[in-house]
Chain A
Amino acid sequence: MTLLKQYVNAVRMYLPKGPQQDDILSELSEHLQSKMDEEEEALGRPLTEVEQEALLTQHGNPAMVAARYGAPRRSVAFGWQLIGPELFPLYFRILLLNWATTLIVVPLIREFGQIIPRLGFWPFAGPMLAQLVIVTLVFTSVDWFQRVAHRPSARASLPNWRFPPSYLQCIPRWQSLAGVMLFGVTSIWWVLVPTKPVLMLGPASTSLEFSSSTTSLYWVALALLLISTAQRATTLVRPDWNWLQALTRLITNGSALVLLYPFAQSFPYVMVSAAAADPAKAAILALRVNSTIWWLAMGTMSIYWLINVAYHLWVCAQFLLYAGRRRAEQFS
């Protein structure tokens, strides 16, 4: 995809759907192409990607360009702004994608899953509410970070349409550091769980124990956690290795998705321990814990992994195309 197409597609995201949308975009594309032609004629050679990028950036932020055509500038605010108009369209689409996937995946899991434990709440509501909270929190953080990192004037011309997008130009060090801390602590916790089940089961560890079917899953999960930690440690040192993040996340999320099958087969994950004081009570507790783990992985995490795989597949493909274009530009 050319930079011009990327730019026009970014403007499309902010324009209301309708018969006028294509008309506006065709005219915008034609205008920018004419400008590029004129520049090329003046220089006597084709524009490099850097020059094209400068010309498109000069045209303005896609959100602002769309706003001049009367596009609504929607945002999420509760007294103060959580998600601004620049990020809102992406936020809204990702949330809808999450919810749509939930509506497809959850019935499939219920239909084809070998074990169908039931929870005491509507099976769609939990994952959908969790996604609303997670997606809103993520976008609020990104919006806040962008506002802190850029002055308002700079933000107006923020080239958020190009590839790699601004958040992938260089992985921010704070992001890698937060990842090292989060995945590092989680890895340590995971390593300690077999010897200290109380860390996962809490007080229930006196009457429950892990079933033997979870052993092989345990080691694969540990490997994925260590890979995630290593990626973040690497990008902390080399923030310019932006492709590593996309590739690692594609591998880890893809593996997690594949592991869902053996995970479903491994049910139940905890059993009543021989040392349980009240086996009948412990059996009810075991059913609750097993159901919670099952729904958390299948109903919530599976959708997160699925969307991540699709997104990072696209990002990796874009990185390859981008590298190809840069190489071609270098040799031309």
Chain B
Amino acid sequence: MTSRPGALRDELFENLRIELRSGVLIVATLAQLREEQYGYTLRKSLADIGMDIDESTLYPLLRRLENQGLLTSEWREENSRRKRFYRLSREGKVMLDALLDEWSGINRALNRILRKVA
């Protein structure tokens, strides 16, 4: 019985963490794809900079961003294996700049709130 509130809190934290990260992951993915990469290396490069993303989340996300016209992709052979390379589209670049502006605004606002509380 004593572990239940803790488990509930962990679950709640996990849900909130996922919500918080989901938007940021889109920005991070778009930013990382300013340079062409395929899914596997993209996931690794995101993990290397501390933005771990589950593979079953990454690929559907890439597909969605491509359908929205923010990414372009092409199948190419590398090391005798066919791989799908993604890159930010022109529309994606515009969108990324807009999202980064928005992110900076949110960040500034949040910092002001936190300073006031402190």
Chain A residues close to B by CB (< 8 Å): 20, 24, 26-28, 30-31, 33-35, 59-60, 64-65, 68-70
Contacts and interface: CB of A to CB of B under 8 A. Distances in A.
Interface stretch (B27-35, B79-87, B97-105, B109-117): B79-87
Interface residues of B, number: 14
A70 B56 contact: no
Interface in B74-99: 75, 81-84
A69 B63 CA distance: 8
Given A27-B39, A30-B84, A31-B55, 20 more contacts: A20-B63, A24-B59, A26-B82, A27-B59, A28-B59, A30-B38, A30-B40, A30-B81, A30-B82, A31-B59, A33-B81, A34-B40, A35-B40, A60-B56, A68-B57, A68-B59, A68-B60, A69-B60, A69-B63, A70-B60
Nearest to A65: B56
A70 B39 CA distance: 19
B37 to A, nearest CB: 12
B78 to A, nearest CB: 10
Interface of B: 38-40, 55-57, 59-60, 63, 75, 81-84
Contacts of A26: 75, 82, 84
The 7 closest A-B pairs by CB, nearest first: A34-B40, A68-B60, A68-B56, A69-B60, A27-B84, A31-B40, A31-B39
7 contacts: A20-B63, A30-B39, A30-B81, A30-B84, A31-B40, A69-B60, A69-B63
